[in-house]
Amino acid sequence: MKVAVIGCGALGSYYGAMLARACHETRFLLRSDYDIVRRHGVRILSPNGDFQVRPHCARAPEEIGSADLVLIGLKTTANDQFPKLLPPVVGPRTAVLTLQNGLGNEEALARLFPAEQILGGLCYVCLNRTEPGVIHHTAHGEILIGEFQREAGPRTQEIASVFRCAGVKCTVSDNLERAHWEKLVWNVPFNGLGVAAAAGIEAMLDPQSPVTCVQPVMTTDQLLADPRWTDLVREMMLEIIAAANAKGLDIDPALAQANIDRTLKLGAYRASTLVDFERGQPLEWESLFLEPLRQAQAAGVAAPRLARLGEVLKALDPGSRSR
């Protein structure tokens, strides 16, 4: 299988490297890391065993050409680049699989390509890019994939099999929308509140409180060590579940406590939005926080905690401040 990886940060590089190790023709579209990856390849440091691969490297999508499978690992803040980056690698039979966070990514792809070519993937994995071409994998690694606006067909089952043969646990869902909302139950509080902690608990509890950076961000274990932040985590999870259920997606409220219990075992994990904030990069607040809020309110769920989180993150967002 010829695989094009568009967006070679931690996520794209890890799954692209797994496929490359399984002898698929894997081509990475690279910018700042191009020279290093071309010379030294991609190194994965993992409790499952370290390994190194040498993928084909390209500076422009035209150098890759039409692929069988396109993996999109871009930050959602770069979705405006879809029209430039994707048409050269997407042919009439290409499967386009976005591994991005949040809501609205498949819809953005459907404005460019036929809906039947579009798949979504949810990654349950703990990763960080520690230096160019080096990815530190600390836990998990599963992918759940499904098709945009329809049940999964044979092609999706085949792609799942490809991942499994490459050593990636992969399951298939017939309801991609429900799967997205289930993941938001974890993503929204732990990505969002970890950054919002920089403004202090008062900024989250009092809508009239000014939003400025007054303290460090908080890792998942720090959020769950403070009862006030833990209460916010739980309340926000229940708002997400209420919104999903108002949309008819039938998510068990017990998922909130299950996520908290699972996260306690991760230790001091730095969620991706926290890492972006520390690096001064724009936050994925549109797809991860604002679009879920829009959909919650459209479904008749007020979600005041989520609404306040969006306000705080917009004020803190390095991208917003630079603009």
**Annotated catalytic residue 183:** yes
Q: Which amino acid is at 296?
A: A
- Using alpha carbons, select from 293, 115, 284, 102 the residue that is nearest to residue 181: 102
Helices 176-196 and 304-316, packing angle to 10 deg: 60
Distance CA 71, CA 215 (A): 37
Only one residue has tokens 């039938």, namely 250
- H-run or E-run covering 58: strand 56-58
The pair of structure tokens assigned to 210 is 């000014």
Distance CA 260, CA 264 (A): 6
Only one residue has tokens 């023709």, namely 25
Distance CA 260, CA 64 (A): 42
Distance CA 33, CA 316 (A): 28
The pair of structure tokens assigned to 151 is 């049940």
- H-run or E-run covering 67: strand 67-72
Q: Which amino acid is at 189?
A: P
CA atoms within 13 Å, Cβ hemisphere of 48: 15
**Which is catalytic among the residues 84, 183, 247, 314?**
183
Q: Which amino acid is at 314?
A: K
Only one residue has tokens 């680049």, namely 81
CA atoms within 13 Å, Cβ hemisphere of 72: 30
Residue numbers annotated as active site:
183
